[in-house]
Chain A
Amino acid sequence: MTLKIVDGMENKKLCLIMVTEDERDKCFLTQKLTRYMGWLAIRCKVFKDRDIQGIEIKFDDLVTNVCEWFKEEHTTVAILDLENIKLSDGPKYDSIFRRDHIDTLFVEYIGDEANQDTLSTPLESITSNKELTDPLSYVVLRKESKDILVNKVENYLQTRIIFYVLNINMENKSIWLSRHGESVFNLEEKIGGDSSLSPRGQKYAQLLPDLITKEIGESPLIVWTSTLRRTQETAKYLPYKKLAWKALDELDAGVCDGMTYKEIEEEYPEDFKARDDDKYQYRYRGGESYADVVNRIEPVIMELERQENVLIITHQAVLRCIYAYFMNVPQGESPWMTIPLHTLIKLTPTTDGVKVTRIKTDIPAVSTYKEKGSSDITSNPSNLSSKYANILEEVSTIQKI
């Protein structure tokens, strides 16, 4: 959700302490949690016990670093990514941070068989009284059985993080994103509406099954569309299970639905300018803002974390929000990213970050990118209003990670 949600949490400080045997798992989880904090607009930082050169940072120094950081404004969550954490040290960490009014939450991801020296006892014997007086707050995720154990969770922020963890799928998988094929309204430079595909858009729909099959072969896939005609027509030839989500519908332009940017500029000049000034927060008359879209797609994002391979066919604004979630793009920048038509984007989460691959088809399509301060549609954004404006230009650098 958005910034508003964390209001009133200003005084809450939380230290997440990651406990896993497997370095790769830890990176993966840490990265996901960092991304989720970004999505909630919660200020978060990862602390490691090795510096860039790999030299160990002493425990006392690390604690000092964390506590110093928490003195800065709006700092809310520190994630401790330590190389060798002994679980018997749990209470020590807890009491050190508690002195500075910082709550702790241990996040343990561990194989079902590995029971020795963990925070938790085997799940079966959990109802003994000793366990219930256990003062630490923790969540344990079992690798194979996917069992989850939650102990002593006291505040909203902790429950929110565990809610997210409940949805995480640690398997390797990819997510494909595509806008619908070129629509009749795209050709007419109109926004919104519920028009059908143009002939070129239909060609893209026919090509899509081959494109996807080449990518995933025999692997299973599920296709999500919005409830609007142009996304369902685009998915028409795909031989996979399809689900339509109302939450994936295009940003509602309210009274401007079905107008061109030129018409909007003429009829609602003040609105036109207001939107360019703060595109993330601007809400169309009777319609939505990007912030609204981010709010309403939370269930979709959670389901995405849970699912195996997914192809999402949706709309420009919604794709920008989903892309921003995976790529940690700041909220204010996301509305200015270019996401061209007839292009398939593949996101693969890895331990170092999300890898992006672009698969551009040779079916031509109009551009729908409106530059800041003008009602012109352009295929070559010139006065880029943000470094994220042309995400696809950045592909090569992102891939290198």
Chain B
Amino acid sequence: MKFPIPNLARPSRRAFGAAAVAAALVAGIGAPRAEAQQVEHPEGFNPDEWVVVASVINTTNPYMISNIEGAEAMSEALGIPLEIVNSNNSSQTSISSIYAILASGKKPIMFVNTVASSDAPTIVDAVRQAGGYVTIWWNKPDEYKPQDVGDNFVAFQKHPGVDSGRCGAQALGEALGGEGNVIMLPGVQDSTTSKTRVAGFRAEMSESYPGITILEERPSNWDPQLGARNAKDLIVKYGDQIDGVWSADDGMQIGAMQSFENAGMLEDVKFASDGLYPKTLEDIISGRGDNAIVGETFHRGYMASAIGLYTAYLAASGQIVPSELEDDKRESFFKLSCVTPENYEQYLQYDEEGAPAEFVERLIESGPWDTEPVPLVGGGVEELPQG
């Protein structure tokens, strides 16, 4: 399976970090993590009893790499060692690796980017038995609520998919002047993330841009190549009727744009998607295909993991009692920003060197629900609008 939400990776930071640790070891100095510690733990909380754990779907998707960077920054700030679980796209691997870490005897402060919704209950149960605290991102069964499970399942958090779809529809609708035909490339058809984005796109189009017709929807499994192939087939089918293309993530958009470029149509069609990949950012900056990309959304993997881990830490250290929190802090939606060629520059700062550490610093100051550019904006189970 592939995961939808991509983003900018800051690998050089990790590479640099690894090199620095190696250099310190060679020099026999050692590099105690506590030096970077920013958090003063409350009385009675012994950090030696805890371990920070971040479970990601794989370690090749840029979004997952960014998740790891956020966890690294948070682990440093808390002065608690970090364990990464690489699920290798498999629920089984994810769950068995988490069991292995729990067996080490330390209590986990955990962030999990679940491979499948159905993994959530098993993982939460294991963490609860180990006396740890967990926050889950992106996927869980709708009816499985932290409020019903107890304090160890601190929160479920995500960015709303409906908003993502609406962003894309607004960008395309405006760029086409409210008239024309578009095609849609959803991700894996039955994934919640894809479904919510598709529903948001369709709803916004029918509410605000009735002059725009959706010609066809072809799920492309978050796969750039399938995106390219489906786009090519749809080019053959509809030819120059197509005025706009919406993809549920940038990976598929990269493939689709390649097909339109190959067909000599890139300059006549507008594109909108989710994630603001580095490649997408380059294309926006360079104005590729007569400014073909008109809309994107902004959110970053390091922000998700840092928010998730910090919320879990606050519960672990007794600074919040989850059962006393409002519902929207247990099932939470964090802000997703619409990016356009006019405003993309204000988001560049979040991809600069050291951005994850800087974000963590602000997060600790403002708390998990009030940190720009991703404050809490709502909660509950995401309802699909009718489009």
Pairing of A with B? no
Chain A residues with CB under 8 Å of chain B are none
